[in-house]
Structure 1
Amino acid sequence: MEKRLPGITGLGDACCGCGACAAKCPHGCISMGRDKCSFLHPSVNANICVGCGACDSACPVIGKREEDDCEAVYWAKSKNEPEKLASSSGGIFALLAHEVLNAGGVVCGAAWESDFKGVRHVLIEDEADLDSVMRSKYVQTTVGVEVYEGIRAALKANRRVLFTGTACQVSGMRGYLGKLADSEFLLLVDVICHGVPAPLLWEKWAVWREARAGAPLRGVNMRSKTTGWLSFSAAYEYAAEKDGRAVADGSAFGDDWYFKAFLSNASLRPSCFNCPAKRACGSDITLGDFWGVQSTHPDVDYEGGVSAVLCNTAKGVAALETLGANLERGESSLEKVLPGNPSLVRSVRPYARRDEFMRDLGDGMGIDGLMAKYDFKPTLVQRARGKLGGAKRRLKKLLGR
């Protein structure tokens, strides 16, 4: 009789690439391989697979969870001004991480590879390493088996753990951990996610920038606040002469071609257009920028950044309470968060020529060719809508609404 392969082998584009299946497999018969655009997908060795179903039970797509609750919603920001400015939004992740690290725990987040050509999740146990997992990185990360195993080992040793990632990654971690995911020592935090761009596009973009600068990358800040929080920019740092460091290039977020591709939804993973985990990942806290806070909470000083904080569980509420005097916050609501963060509950729509763009990328077209073919300029209709929206906002402001 023919052996039946796990359901993960038939997911195709629905796979979100979290790697939970490979980590969960008790026989090590699943490996994560990259497609033409460097997105990770599972591959099953049928000669070893015993059909136990462990991989399917961990999968965020196959084992889709019920909708998350929402215990409380806040606008919030750290009172540590330098750390807040070094963060993407209000510095809440850093405050949560300090609490865990100071208790001898483990923090897991996304960090750049040493050459800045990719991003992977890492485990840190030292305050000195916290900066490496701070700030948004708009590239799909790799969550290796060693990360899953490290978190499980820490929890079994009754050590506190903070795991942060996209909703699908949080859901995958819950699936991998099983009952251990309900441990009092584990705090799961997901970030409001627009979608994850292809690792290959970032790698090509990084190489292209290095060639233009004539020096290797030594730092990337995709959310630099040197131009402000509302008008943040992308900053690229290169090796300077005599082994120094110098900010040699940078541009407003909306003017950077890589980010134009991201915001146009041209470079996103296919599963991002039908996300299986939005508001259904089992996180304790959801974090994001509180876009529009200046309108919904006009009395809040938003300079330097403000976070939207959704406490989905009682554990999440308790974690926020422990931040105490280090945190400035106020009550808000989902209704006030959603206008500036529609991707919190709704998957984005693909760019009209997304398949063509990804095919060109995967078939070897370079950055110069891609930039010439895809400029991602807004259409006439989009520009008209933008002007109309701006006029409406100015009118409301004039009328004091």
Structure 2
Amino acid sequence: MIDNREKHKCCGCTACYSICPQNAIKMEFDEEGFLYPVVNKKNCKHCGLCEKVCPYTVLTKEENCSTCVAIQNKNDNRRNISTAGGAFSLIADYILQHNGIVYAVGYSEMVVCHKKCTEQDQLRELCGSKYVQSTLNETFKEIKTHLKIGKFVLFVGTPCQAHGLKRYIGESPNLIIIDLLCLGTSSPGLFSKWIDYLNQKYDSKVSYVRFRDKSYGYAVPNIRVQFSNGKIIEQSYDAKVHSNMFFKHFYDVRPSCYQCVYREKPRVSDFTIGDCVNIGQFNKTMDDNKGTTRMWIHTERGMQIFKELTFQMRVTSIINTCNNICGGATKFRYLLIEGNSLMIQSV
């Protein structure tokens, strides 16, 4: 029974909650505003499934070989609303075009949560970083249901969420996972208090927060807060206070983030994506202040999708400079782009 677990071992991925056949586990907020599993001991049948599915208890040590590139979405609208180069929307569009379903992070009444997307016009809300741990609710259960009927599903989340989902689902040829370069997950409770503060001060409800708005370019991170009455605040203390505290590490992140076991080991995802702020070191012509994504491709399935999408992106070869992406056991590769051919070089 997964109960009274030390907090540094629990990432809140909901795998145990999702797998419990007795519905004896609920996700409840603690005093810091993070969700943890709580077991109803009267309903628990001690089947042990919650312990078996927990990603912390089974950490793969297998080597994998990841390819590292920098990309930009050629669709300027998609790229502009993205945090970096628009890699997520490229892959999401691909999944939707194959009659698939996308699960990524959006807002529900300003609660950061995973949402289901089945239409391309729904992707806009899911683009861009949220910098808050998302509430997963029934996401894992829904994904399993879609996979059983043969649907393609794309899931985007933190490395720990990706591990939790993979432990819950197992191997599935129709599941594509993107995980993110992660600084840690900040408290949904603190985010909620910031939203409440803004609601009261500006006498209107916050309707959307874009943490990496590009109105002033990619190099000048701008927080844009929209209210239901049409008011917008940006480039101000009230707009930036939440993200400033997070990036300066003044905010508490989840206890498990301080001892993260998911970022320094082989990824279970097909792709990892993050900012490539130093694109000028690799390709000066791509350094246009509009955003570039550093992408790691971990699986053959991921490489197949990448190759199918290359005509929709600008790609340049980069040598991986982030040793934490998959750990010391991982071998890295990078792509040599010569004309229309892709050549893989080991490093």
Kept in 2: contact 1:194–1:343 (CA 8 A): no
From 227, 234, 242, the counterpart of 1:238: 227
Distance 2:63 2:100 in 1: 26
The aligned amino acid for 2:177 is L
Q: Does 1:288 align with 2:281?
A: no
From 5, 11, 15, the counterpart of 1:10: 5
Kindly state the Cα deviation for residue 8 of structure 1 after the two structures are TM-superposed: 5.0
Kept in 2: contact 1:72–1:333 (CA 8 A): no
Q: Does 1:132 align with 2:125?
A: yes
The aligned amino acid for 1:52 is C
The aligned amino acid for 1:104 is N
Provide the secondary structure at the position in 2 that maps to 1:38: coil
Distance 1:122 1:239 in 2: 21
1:371 equivalent in structure 2: none
Q: Give per-residue Cα distances to partners, 1:218-243, cap 9 Å, x unaligned.
A: 22101101111121211001122xxx
Kept in 2: contact 1:90–1:306 (CA 8 A): yes
Q: Give per-residue Cα distances to partners, 1:24-63, cap 9 Å, x unaligned.
A: 1122111111101220011112222222221122212222
Q: 1:67 to 1:8 in 2, by over 3 A?
A: farther
Q: Does 1:47 align with 2:42?
A: yes
Distance 1:164 1:100 in 2: 12
Q: 1:68 to 1:261 in 2, by over 3 A?
A: farther
Kept in 1: contact 2:17–2:23 (CA 8 A): yes
Kept in 1: contact 2:69–2:315 (CA 8 A): yes
The aligned amino acid for 2:254 is R
Provide the secondary structure at the position in 2 that maps to 1:304: coil
Q: 1:139 to 1:262 in 2, by over 3 A?
A: same
Q: Does 1:273 align with 2:258?
A: yes
Q: 1:106 to 1:235 in 2, by over 3 A?
A: same
Provide the secondary structure at the position in 2 that maps to 1:36: coil
1:173 equivalent in structure 2: 165
Distance 2:61 2:133 in 1: 25
From 207, 211, 215, the counterpart of 1:218: 207
The aligned amino acid for 1:98 is D
Kept in 2: contact 1:24–1:176 (CA 8 A): yes
Unpaired stretches in structure 2, ≥5 consecutive residues: 328-347
Q: 1:23 to 1:272 in 2, by over 3 A?
A: same
Distance 2:118 2:133 in 1: 23
TM-score normalised per structure 2: 0.88
2:55 equivalent in structure 1: 60
From 172, 184, 189, the counterpart of 1:200: 189
- Once the two structures are overlaid, the 10-residue window that deviates more, 188-197 or 206-215, is 206-215
Distance 1:106 1:263 in 2: 32
Q: Give per-residue Cα distances to partners, 1:181-240, cap 9 Å, x unaligned.
A: x22211111011001111111111111122222221122101101111121211001122
Kindly state the Cα deviation for residue 280 of structure 1 after the two structures are TM-superposed: 3.7
The aligned amino acid for 1:109 is A
Q: Give per-residue Cα distances to partners, 1:117-154, cap 9 Å, x unaligned.
A: x211111111221112111001110111x211111111
Kindly state the Cα deviation for residue 281 of structure 1 after the two structures are TM-superposed: 4.0
Q: Give per-residue Cα distances to partners, 1:340-396, cap 9 Å, x unaligned.
A: xx76469xxxxxxxxxxxxxxxxxxxxxxxxxxxxxxxxxxxxxxxxxxxxxxxxxx
Distance 1:253 1:273 in 2: 27
Kept in 2: contact 1:110–1:119 (CA 8 A): yes
Kept in 2: contact 1:261–1:267 (CA 8 A): no
Kept in 2: contact 1:110–1:120 (CA 8 A): yes
Distance 2:284 2:238 in 1: 25
Q: Does 1:304 align with 2:290?
A: yes
2:151 equivalent in structure 1: 159
Distance 2:275 2:312 in 1: 19
1:185 equivalent in structure 2: 174
Q: Give per-residue Cα distances to partners, 1:234-271, cap 9 Å, x unaligned.
A: 1001122xxxx342x11279982212221122321111
Where is the helix percentage greater, Structure 1 or Structure 2?
1
Q: Does 1:143 align with 2:136?
A: yes
Kindly state the Cα deviation for residue 102 of structure 1 after the two structures are TM-superposed: 1.3
Give aligned pairs, total. 325
Distance 2:4 2:270 in 1: 30
2:330 equivalent in structure 1: none
Distance 2:266 2:40 in 1: 30
Q: 1:253 to 1:157 in 2, by over 3 A?
A: farther
Kept in 1: contact 2:3–2:37 (CA 8 A): yes
Q: 1:294 to 1:254 in 2, by over 3 A?
A: farther
1:32 equivalent in structure 2: 27
1:70 equivalent in structure 2: 65
- Once the two structures are overlaid, the 10-residue window that deviates more, 282-291 or 317-326, is 317-326
Provide the secondary structure at the position in 2 that maps to 1:162: strand
Unpaired stretches in structure 1, ≥5 consecutive residues: 1-5, 347-401
Kindly state the Cα deviation for residue 324 of structure 1 after the two structures are TM-superposed: 3.0
